[in-house]
Structure 1
Amino acid sequence: MIKPRRQLVKYYVQFMLICLFAVIGEAISTFFKLPIPGSIIGLFLLLIALQLKWIRLRHIHAVAEFLIANMTILFLPAGVGIMERWDAISDNIVPIILIIMGALVLNIVVIAVVVGFIKKHFEGDYKEVKRG
């Protein structure tokens, strides 16, 4: 009975550690009146802490995997928010669609260039293993 409880406490601690960085990011964004969302600042602070090894990946890994696996659920509030603000968005729908399409085309071009570079420079750098 102790093991499941210990596992649950581990998840709580990991989640609270991630939340701590989000709260610190929100505080920085609010205090300095930055145009960057506090959650983004918190993620950068978490990245810095991981890079400097102040926090080990094992300290947040289980909850991070869970959050990534359930990311689609986390986007639902954003979709609802868009629908609630449709009157403000509908006035600028053409520029928004153009920006989205431009970003899509830019992503496709960048991916094509990177894949072409990788194929050109690294294709054939491996040996075929003959089976039989």
Structure 2
Amino acid sequence: MLAALSLLLVCQLCGEILVRWLALPVPGPVAGMLLLFLLLALRRGPDEELRSTSQNLLKHLSLLFVPAGTGIVLHLGRVGEQWLALLLSLLVSTVLTLLVTAWVMRLSTRSKP
């Protein structure tokens, strides 16, 4: 379990370093996840230890939302002031995500001649 957690954290750290070094407009954890994906593709998938550790982390994923919830409560006044912009951005991003997902699904299921 320790080796699997270390691998996950090293990938995240490398993503953070890469993003800051190259001034990329993406979050470091996203770049780290891409690095992890590339590593797993080269290794032809995760080993059993990484698989079980990841499953255990996913079981407790709701705990990772506690800081975000705390931040919302802490800045509740600001949320109240800018509720319309927040609501519109959530709605637009949700609709765009659904449309892009449907488009990609349609392209990927299209039968080839």
Q: TM-score range by the shorter chain?
A: 0.7 to 0.9
**Percent same amino acid at aligned positions?**
23
Return the match for 2:2 from 12, 17, 30.
12
User: Could you tell me which amino acid in structure 2 is paired with residue 13 of structure 1?
Assistant: A
Segments of 5+ residues of structure 1 without an aligned counterpart are: 1-10, 122-132
Q: How does 1:78-97 map to 2 (within 5 A)?
A: 78-97=68-87
User: Could you tell me which amino acid in structure 1 is paired with residue 73 of structure 2?
Assistant: M
Match of 2:46 in 1: 57
Query: Could you list the runs of 4 or more consecutive aligned residues of structure 1 that deviate by over 6 angstroms after TM superposition?
Result: none
Residues 81 and 35 (structure 1), Cα distance of their counterparts in 2 relative to 1, 3 Å cut: farther
Kindly indicate whether residue 100 of structure 2 is the aligned counterpart of residue 99 of structure 1.
no
Match of 1:5 in 2: none
User: CA–CA distance in 1 between the matches of 2:13 and 2:71?
Assistant: 22
Query: Matched residue pairs, number?
Result: 104
Give the TM-score, by structure 1 length: 0.63
> SS where residue 35 of structure 1 aligns?
coil
User: CA–CA distance in 2 between the matches of 1:35 and 1:87?
Assistant: 29
Kindly indicate whether residue 83 of structure 2 is the aligned counterpart of residue 75 of structure 1.
no
The C-alpha deviation readout for 1:37-59, integer Å capped at 9, x for no partner, is: 11111011101111122x74115
Segments of 5+ residues of structure 2 without an aligned counterpart are: none
Return the match for 1:21 from 11, 23, 26.
11
User: Could you tell me which amino acid in structure 2 is paired with residue 29 of structure 1?
Assistant: V
Q: CA RMSD in A?
A: 2.8
Residues 38 and 94 (structure 1), Cα distance of their counterparts in 2 relative to 1, 3 Å cut: same
Match of 1:7 in 2: none
User: Could you tell me which amino acid in structure 2 is paired with residue 42 of structure 1?
Assistant: G
Q: Which has the higher helix share?
A: 2
Shift of 1:31: 2.1
Match of 2:33 in 1: 43
Give the TM-score, by structure 2 length: 0.72
